[in-house]
Amino acid sequence: MLVPEDEREPPTSVTFNLQEALELLAALEEARATLQDGEHLAGVLTSEASSQLLSRRLGFDDGETMPAEPLIAAEAAERLDLPIKELWRLVYERKIRYVMVNGIAHVPEDAVDEYRREAAS
């Protein structure tokens, strides 16, 4: 029996493949950066919570911790002249060093330099 659309229950779980997860994480990071620039605290907190959950699911929670202020993904991607999604792929594949800040993967400035040197050689 077909159930009308407005009476359907939402799914109990949703699954993303790796490509979809990285694209979602990139979109969240772009939104977070935009909200931070506009000083929209509630939006930043909401996007951070979503990024934290997705980062944990992608296995990013085992990064080292660091006292210095690392770069958010949008900033690191800009410095490397990469789309944010490609930076997340580098993090996922452990090709660039990252640290966890409040449950979200960030890239230390010196890791950007390290990656540049390795990519050039």
pTM of this prediction?
0.58
Mean per-residue pLDDT pooled into runs of 10, the chain (121 residues): 61 81 81 70 62 70 61 91 92 90 86 92 86
pLDDT at 20: 85
Q: Which residues pair with 101 in a beta bridge?
A: 104
